């Protein structure tokens, strides 16, 4: 059995002293899989996801305890810049940098981290990343245009290309298709299934159909606790906990 790429060990996250948004979560995330984090609004899904690339470090009031291991190393003891090079993030709404061209958007991670590339390396990276998100043929003649000139679905693929540029091992996705129409959603889902050959994807989703279609493993959270985890098929077909069952059958929103 291959060692998990990420392990949560009694991970707790609080926004205010004594009030836990995430309580003692322990789970293993397998390599080169898509793992869905499901649960009703406000159950701590996004809070847990953001802890994985130290997004909470940006706020003094958020406290994370326990361990989050990445290849055996505790993320909470690592430098944020090192973590974010290896663990990319894609948000709910497409967020291309508005002032940057499509070309520069893909390379933004290098610029932000002060990593210098030659012109040839830049060209190669832009083409590789845009090809990997099936966007190259659509934009290769308009690379100097602003990223915001693209459609919503294209913008989200550009954001995924930007996250892939630094060759991360893990991609965190916070409801990556919730702002997109069904056709764009389907294209992103197909893309993620392809990408899991190269990266491990940990995805928060409200969309149970999506979890069922593309994830091999799932975590179900409720009120900050991890209620149940396992293969997606097992969770949907034979949930062990009544709360999981209530959520998956639509009795709990």
For the cut 70, the answer to whether the pLDDT of residue 10 exceeds it is yes
β 225-231/34-38 pair status: unpaired
In a domain, 1, yes or no: no
Among 134, 143, 140, 147, smallest CA distance to 96 is for: 147
Q: Is residue 218 part of a domain?
A: yes
What is the per-residue pLDDT for 253? 57
Q: What is the domain count for the chain?
A: 1
Which H/E stretch holds residue 187?
Answer: helix 182-195
Indicate the average pLDDT of the chain.
94
CB atoms within 10 A of CB 82: 14
Structure tokens belonging to residue 67: 């361990």
Residue 19 scores a pLDDT above 90: no
Residue with the bigger pLDDT between 173 and 1: it is 173
- Specify if 253 maps to a domain: no
Per-residue pLDDT band at 102 (split at 50, 70, 90):
very high
Identify the CA nearest to 228 among candidates 248, 202, 207: 248
List pLDDT tens digits, range 47-92. 999 999 999 988 889 999 999 999 999 999 999 989 999 999 999 8
> Which residue is associated with the tokens 């990408």?
195
d(CA 17, CA 20): 8
3-class DSSP state for residue 217? Answer: strand
191: confidence class by pLDDT, cuts 50, 70, 90 = very high
Domain containing residue 175: CATH number: 3.40.50.300
Decide if 209 is inside a domain.
Answer: yes
pLDDT surpasses 70 at 4 = yes
Among 220, 204, 166, residue whose Cα is nearest residue 52: 204
Confidence of residue 108 (pLDDT cuts 50, 70, 90): very high
Q: Is residue 110 part of a domain?
A: yes
User: Domain limits at 113?
Assistant: 6-248
pLDDT digits (tens, 9 = 90+) for 200-217: 999 999 899 999 999 999
**Res 16 pLDDT > 90:** no
CA-atom Rg of the chain in angstroms: 18
Using the predicted structure, report yes or no on whether residue 251 has a pLDDT greater than 90: no
Q: List, for residues 177-187, the tens digit of each pLDDT value.
A: 998 999 999 99
| Paired tokens of 10 | 């009694």
Nearest to 176 by CA among 48, 107, 89: 89
227 has pLDDT over 80: yes
Residues recorded for the chain: 253
Strands 170-174 and 87-90: parallel
18 pLDDT band, cuts 50/70/90, is confident
Residue 34 lies in a domain: yes
Quote the tokens at residue 6. 């990420």
């Amino acid at each position: 059995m291959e060692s998990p790429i990420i392990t949560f060990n009694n991970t707790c996250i609080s926004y205010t002293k004594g009030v836990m948004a995430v309580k003692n979560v322990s789970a293993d995330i397998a390599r080169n899989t898509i793992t869905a984090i499901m649960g009703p609004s406000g159950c701590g899904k996004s809070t847990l996801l953001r802890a994985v690339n130290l997004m909470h470090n940006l706020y003094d009031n958020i406290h994370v305890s326990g361990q989050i291991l990445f290849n055996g190393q505790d993320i909470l003891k690592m430098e944020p810049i090192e973590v974010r090079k290896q663990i990319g993030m894609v948000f709910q709404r497409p967020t291309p940098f508005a002032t940057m061209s499509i070309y520069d958007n893909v390379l933004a991670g290098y610029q932000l981290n002060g990593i210098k590339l030659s012109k040839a390396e830049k060209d190669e990276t832009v083409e590789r990343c845009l090809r990997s998100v099936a966007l190259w043929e659509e934009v290769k003649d308009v690379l100097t245009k602003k990223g915001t000139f693209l459609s919503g679905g294209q913008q989200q693929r550009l954001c995924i290309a930007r996250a892939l540029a630094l060759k991360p091992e893990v991609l965190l996705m916070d409801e990556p298709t919730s702002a997109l129409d069904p056709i764009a959603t389907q294209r992103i889902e197909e893309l993620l299934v392809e990408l899991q050959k190269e990266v491990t994807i940990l995805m928060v989703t409200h969309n149970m159909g999506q979890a069922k279609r593309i994830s091999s493993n799932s975590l179900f959270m409720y009120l900050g606790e991890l209620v149940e985890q396992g293969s997606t098929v097992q969770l949907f077909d034979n949930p062990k906990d009544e709360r999981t069952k209530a959520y998956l059958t639509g009795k709990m929103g």
